[in-house]
Amino acid sequence: MIIAMTLYTQVSHNIAKTWVLMALFFGVVIAIGFVFSQVYGDPGFLYIAVIFSVAMNIASYWFSDRIVLALHRAHQVDMRSHHELYRVLENLTIAAGLPMPRFYSIDDPSPNAFATGRNPKHAVVCVTSGLVQRLDRSELEGVLAHELSHIGNRDMLVSTVAVVLVGFISILSDMFMRSMWFGGMRSRDNDRGKAGALILVVGIVLSILAPLIASLIHLAISRRREFLADASGALLTRYPEGLASALKKIASSNQPLRTATNATAHLFLHNPFGADDGGLKKTPWVVKMFSTHPPIEERIAALMKVSVPAR
C-alpha cells in the first residue's frame, strides 16, 4: 500500500505542476491583453483575435486524429494482422477502464508511438513497425500503457488549450507589431505623454518576448505530461521496468522517423527526429528548455525509483 501510494503521489505531483504551468500561461495572456488594450485604448481587436485563434485550434483539435494519421501514412491494425499486439492493447484498455481506441501502425524502422484524438471515445493509438520489432511483450505493454495514459489523463485537451493560448499570444504580438509599422500608435502616444510612452515600450517588449515565453511554457507543459503518462502507465502495468527498458532501447536508436514533423513531434513517445548521443547522456539545461520531451535519462531514473509488488 505504501509503495502504491508512491506512484499515486508522483501522478498527483505531475498533475499539480501541469496546472501551475497552465495558470502561469493564463497569467501571461491576461498581462498581454491588459497592456495591449491600454496601448490601443480599445479592447475590441482582442475579441477578434480570440475568436479567430479559438476557432482555428478547435477545428484542428476536432480533426487532429485524421490529420496526424494522414501525415504519417498510418494504416489500421486489426485482430487478424496483429493478433498478439492487438490483444495486449485490448487487455490494457480493459484494465484502464477506457473504450478500445482505434489501433494504427506506421511502416517505419524508427521505434516510436503516439496517441491522439479529441476524447477517449474517439482516441487513436499508433505504433511504428520498428517499435514492434525491437521490443518484447513487457516493453510493449509499458509503451502502450503510456499511450493509454495520455488518453485517460485527457492530455489531448490540455495540449489543445496550450496550443490555443500560444496561437492567441502570437496573433496579438503580430497585430501589435504591424500597427507599429503603419504608425497607428504615434498620435495616441503623443496624447498620453510619458505614461503612454512607457506603456508603448512595455507593449513592444511584450510583443517580442511573449511568443517565446508562451512557447517555452507550452514545451514545459508537454514535458510534464510525458512524466505524468510514464507514472500513470506504471500504475496500469504495475511493472515500471517494462517502460524503462523500452525507453532504453528506443533511446539507443538514433534513426529519425521518416515522416517526422515539428507539428506532431510532441505527440510521440520519444523525439521522432532521433538523438545524436543515444539519448542517455546528461542533457544540457538549454536543450531541455526547447525540447518537447523530457530527457530519456530523467524519465528512466524516475521510473527506476518506483518499486511495486510483482504482478
Please give the Cα distance from 252 to 275 (Å, whole number): 8
Are 115 and 101 in contact, with CB atoms under 8 Å apart? yes
Angle between helices 137-152 and 186-237 (to 10 degrees): 140
Q: Which member of 139, 147, 226, 241 is catalytic?
A: 147
Amino acid, res. 27: G
Q: Kindly give, in sequence order, each residue whose CB lies less than 8 Å from that of residue 169, ignoring residues fewer than 6 positions away.
A: 28, 29, 32, 210, 211, 214
128: helix, strand or coil:
strand
Q: Is 139 a catalytic residue?
A: no
Pick from 214, 216, 205: nearest CA to 171 = 214
Q: Residue 36's Cα: distance from chain center in Å?
A: 28
Question: Nine-digit cell at 98?
Answer: 477506457
277: helix, strand or coil:
coil
Report the catalytic residues.
147
